[in-house]
Amino acid sequence: MKEGLSLVQRLSAHPDSRCWFVSWSPNGTLLASCGGDKTIRIWSQEGDSWICKSILEDGHQRTVRKVAWSPCGNYLASASFDATTCIWKKTNDGFENLTVLEGHENEVKCVAWAPSGNLLATCSRDKSVWVWEVDEEDEYECVTVVNSHTQDVKHVVWHPTQEVSPDRSPGNSMWGRCSASI
């Protein structure tokens, strides 16, 4: 038997536009896709097929570029060319748009949750990285804005065990919270 990858199913995720990104939920039971049609689609497996369970379409005015699940799997963040990031909360019958994070002056290219789940980073074509903190009441507050980049920031990612985040831009930067000073 030949080992390797094989196509399981081809999804027509965003039929009339480009699918920009897909992201698995932490437990692997849901797949989120986002695209040029301004929507996010939530997929789950039923038998041998993947079925679209929800279409989240009331959050963004332009292309949705990136989606990211929170570490607990109860929240989904979406970054859009409309310069906003939406936070979607999982409910019994789907998802609700919990809040819209505003502040970037241009397209939000990427969004990433810290491993703790209480910090969220967004980056943008406006050359900035914003770090948002969430409290127990699901309120989000911007706690840091990094404006040291000379070109647009295309990607941000957190360290898997520490609150340190390298980002991908010309001159690759790494930044984090200061836990001690001498």
37-83 residue pLDDT tens? 999 999 999 998 899 999 999 999 999 999 999 999 999 999 999 99
Domains of the chain by residue range: 19-167
Tokens of 33: 């896709």
- What is residue 93's predicted lDDT score, i.e. its pLDDT? 87
Q: Taking phi first (over 0 means left), then psi (-120 to 50 degrees means alpha), and beta for anything else, what does residue 81 get?
A: alpha
Residue 35 contacts residue 51 (beta carbons within 8 Å): no
Its pTM stands at 0.85
pLDDT category, 113, cuts 50, 70, 90? very high
Amino acid code (one letter) for 155: H
pLDDT at 126: 87
Over residues 2-30, the mean pLDDT reads 89
Which pLDDT band, with edges at 50, 70 and 90, does 169 fall under? very low
8 Å CB contact between 86 and 60: yes
Q: What is the mean pLDDT of residues 23-46?
A: 96
Residue with tokens 């900035």: 128
Q: What is the pLDDT of residue 1?
A: 52
Tokens of 31: 């797949």
- Residues, the chain: 182
The pLDDT, as a whole number, for residue 166 is 43
pLDDT, the chain, mean: 87
| CATH-assigned architecture of domain 19-167 | 7 Propeller (2.130)
Q: How far apart are CA 112 and CA 19, in angstroms?
A: 19
pLDDT at 13: 83
Q: Using CA of residue 145, residue 151, residue 154, residue 160, what is the dihedral sign?
A: negative
Question: What band does 154 get if pLDDT is binned at 50, 70 and 90?
Answer: confident
Residue 3, class by beta-carbon neighbours within 10 Å (0-12 exposed, 13-18 middle, 19+ buried)? exposed
pLDDT level of residue 182 (50, 70, 90 thresholds) = very low
pLDDT > 50? residue 172: no
Average pLDDT, integer, range 86-114? 94
The residue among 177 and 142 whose pLDDT is bigger is 142
First CA to last CA distance, the chain: 60
